[in-house]
Chains A and B, each alone.
Chain A
Amino acid sequence: MTWAAVLLGAALCLALKLAGWLVPPAVLERPAVRRGAALLPLAVLAGLLVVQVLGDGRGLVVDARVAGLAAGAVALALRAPFLVVVLVAAAVAAGVRAL
């Protein structure tokens, strides 16, 4: 099943890229389409963030992941590089779990 998601997702993402190269610009240059494509990633990433950090099956829980995310947010605010942000989050979450 995972392979189906990998291959179907890859095909659709390539189709979107190809569409931009092939479709007449007028269709995709409409303001509402441009704005939607700019804002969609924000909404979806925020949703992924919530599910990843608070989600627990059909419920929401506050656990070590939140502490890790908070530490990552601090690193991000201090302009740390991506890998540092991620490692700080992982280390703090692991530390809280080990307490």
Chain B
Amino acid sequence: MRDALGVGLAVGAYGVGFGAAAVAAGLSVLQACALSLLMFTGASQFALVGVLGAGGGVLAAVAGATLLGSRNALYAVRLADLLRLSGLRRVAAAHLTIDESTALATGAPAGLQGVGFWAGGLSVFGFWNLATLLGALGAGAVDTSALGLDAAVGAAFLALLAPQVRDRTGLQVAVGGAALAALAVPLAPAGVPVLVAGLAAVVAVALHRGDA
């Protein structure tokens, strides 16, 4: 339970950053809050506002968010096996299926996995939405470009990315994705370079098919 609150508070810090980034990208406070309530998966939300902020279209923004949300499906597979839920509880659990709730559930001792999941998921949900509102209201009150918020969003992407680079392949994929995006910027419409970057992961999977 204490872990769940701690994780919720830590995530709140990202939430303030997201709310501010969303408003800096041109979303309304209501749209920023709707994303946190309805999408509720941080990296995807950052991706969506990042693409829209760069002038990207609806489809590119949605595709970027969806690509980043794909790992939640794999978390759900593990959780479904661990928690064995049905009916509406399963739909509610699906909405709360994110990095933090999965980590708390799988890290909890046997018998307490359900507690870890629900406490973690609900705590993060509460703090994330509150923090989004605060960040969005705060950014709405100031001139965001003079404050360097565009650079802050870049730093947010870096902070999301860095802990996920755990091995050589991960580093290669990140560098490859960055290079592909840079190449695509002059050639493709806004938003599309982010999707082109995703090809780096596809190439890595194809190359490493044998040793998986």
| Partner of A73 from B67, B158, B195 at Cβ < 8 Å | B158
* Chain B residues with CB under 8 A of A95: 148
CB pair B39 A43 closer than 8 Å? no
B160 within 8 A of A: yes
CB pair B181 A40 closer than 8 Å? no
A46 to B175, CA, bound (A): 7
Between-chain CB contacts (< 8 Å), 14 pairs: A20-B75, A29-B77, A32-B212, A34-B212, A39-B201, A45-B177, A49-B178, A50-B197, A55-B193, A86-B155, A86-B159, A89-B148, A89-B151, A90-B155
A positions within 8 Å CB-CB of B? 1-10, 12-14, 16-23, 25, 28-29, 31-55, 57-60, 64-65, 67-69, 72-73, 75-76, 81-83, 85-95, 97
B positions within 8 Å CB-CB of A? 10, 13-14, 16-17, 26-28, 31, 34-35, 38-41, 43-44, 46-48, 50-55, 58, 61-62, 64-77, 79-81, 85, 90-91, 93-95, 97, 146-162, 164-165, 169-170, 173-178, 180-182, 185-186, 190, 193-202, 204-205, 208-209, 212
